[in-house]
Structure 1
Amino acid sequence: MGVPKKYALVSGTGEADTSLAAFDAALIDAGIGDCNLVELSSILPPNAEEDDLPEFPPGSIVPAVVAKAVGRGLVSSCICVGRLESGLGIVSERAATDSVETVRRLAKRDVEEMARLRGEKLVEVRTVTASTEPEDAEWAAAVAAVVFWG
């Protein structure tokens, strides 16, 4: 696998009577439910460009950084992408049974600390979040992800 040229920030929520089905519903809502996700760590290639999520053929192997929260109450997730002066991107994923404001704040703090450790300044910070709680089912899930391709 080479260096991805494109990425998209996506999020989704779902609910169901089992935890796995709630997670699946959130992936479907995010537009990546029929993909085989390969989880990555926290680096966004310097020359990668943000784009709209393409329609992947069912069963595609798709690299992604994923934040997922599944529970029987409030669940929230956040992906925070920070672009450094060098062009490198750093990604934080946070998920919790807490408010969306809390996970967003923690994810931004992570990216700020990751930049500091690299001795660089952030020139751009973007977030994508998801938050929900079950209304008509036992379980809820919130997913946020940065998906790579190209």
Structure 2
Amino acid sequence: MQNMVPSRVFLTKGVGRHKYQLKSFEEALRKAGVAQQNLVQVSSILPPKCKITSRDKGLAELTPGQVCFCVMARADTDEHGRLVASSVGIAVPKDGRKWGYLSEVHGHGMDQREASDMSEDLAAGMLGTTLGLEVDPNKAWSEKEQVYKSSGLIIRTSNITQTARGKRDLWTTVVAIAMFLFDD
């Protein structure tokens, strides 16, 4: 394993429920399609030239027991009615020789839109600062998104987000994951 730079990434998500927190997490990973992998969480750099592939294509390449690197957002609750959210945002630079960013957002009380906007905003903001773009942090994501995209330096932002409400007498876990893949 000389060169451990991922060549592709795919996004997946899941929600799980169980009376035990660990089993709830396992169920969320199962819904995401990655429960049979050994997941190693890494930080938030999208390598240069890393291509985004579909969930189905990515899952088809995985082998049970395989060690897989990922960026994961996870939130848990055992409170009935409590809203949990997890989201991974992605920002891809126009220049394929430069790196992009992934961001993780996880927490309580955020709905789908709030979590997805925040994760894209964070990823684009981190990439923007490395490219010399300074945007007013107090602006809404929709305004900042236009600035980033009109700069011509960032070509794509997206996210994968999972939300759920806690159920009585059960743990609820939500995960959002960016799974890295390597060429042979």
Q: Give the TM-score of the pair, scaled to structure 2.
A: 0.75
Instruction: Check whether the contact 1:15–1:137 (CA below 8 A) recurs between aligned residues.
Output: no
Instruction: Check whether the contact 2:161–2:176 (CA below 8 A) recurs between aligned residues.
Output: yes
Q: Which has the higher helix share?
A: 2
Q: Distance in 1 between matches of 2:120 and 2:8?
A: 22
1:54 deviates by 2.7
1:64 correspondence with 2:70: yes
1:127 correspondence with 2:159: yes
Q: Distance in 1 between matches of 2:23 and 2:114?
A: 25
Which of residues 78, 82, 95 in structure 1 aligns to 2:91?
82
Look at both structures and tell me which one has the larger radius of gyration over its CA atoms: 2
* Alpha-carbon displacement from aligned partner over 1:64-92 (angstroms, at most 9, x marks no partner): 00000111232111111001122322101
Aligned to 2:139: none
* Alpha-carbon displacement from aligned partner over 1:14-35 (angstroms, at most 9, x marks no partner): 1110111111110010011111
Instruction: Check whether the contact 1:67–1:143 (CA below 8 A) recurs between aligned residues.
Output: yes
Aligned to 1:114: 126
Query: Equivalent residue of 2:39, what SS?
Result: strand
- Letter of the 1:113 partner, please give it: G
1:100 deviates by 2.0
- Letter of the 1:66 partner, please give it: M
Aligned to 2:31: 29
Instruction: Check whether the contact 1:13–1:140 (CA below 8 A) recurs between aligned residues.
Output: yes
Specify whether residues 112 and 50 from structure 1 end up closer, same or farther in structure 2 by C-alpha distance, changes over 3 A only.
closer
Instruction: Check whether the contact 2:100–2:127 (CA below 8 A) recurs between aligned residues.
Output: no
Q: Distance in 2 between matches of 1:9 and 1:80?
A: 10
- Letter of the 1:76 partner, please give it: A
Aligned to 2:115: 103
- Letter of the 2:58 partner, please give it: L
Q: Distance in 2 between matches of 1:111 and 1:49?
A: 16
Which of residues 92, 98, 113 in structure 1 aligns to 2:103?
92
Q: Distance in 2 between matches of 1:28 and 1:64?
A: 15
1:112 deviates by 2.7
Q: Distance in 1 between matches of 2:164 and 2:59?
A: 25
Q: What percent identity do the matched residue pairs reach?
A: 27
Instruction: Check whether the contact 1:11–1:129 (CA below 8 A) recurs between aligned residues.
Output: yes
Instruction: Check whether the contact 2:92–2:155 (CA below 8 A) recurs between aligned residues.
Output: yes
- Letter of the 2:162 partner, please give it: A
Q: Which has the higher strand share?
A: 1
Total equivalences in the alignment:
150
Superposed CA RMSD: 1.6
Which of residues 8, 11, 32 in structure 1 aligns to 2:10?
8
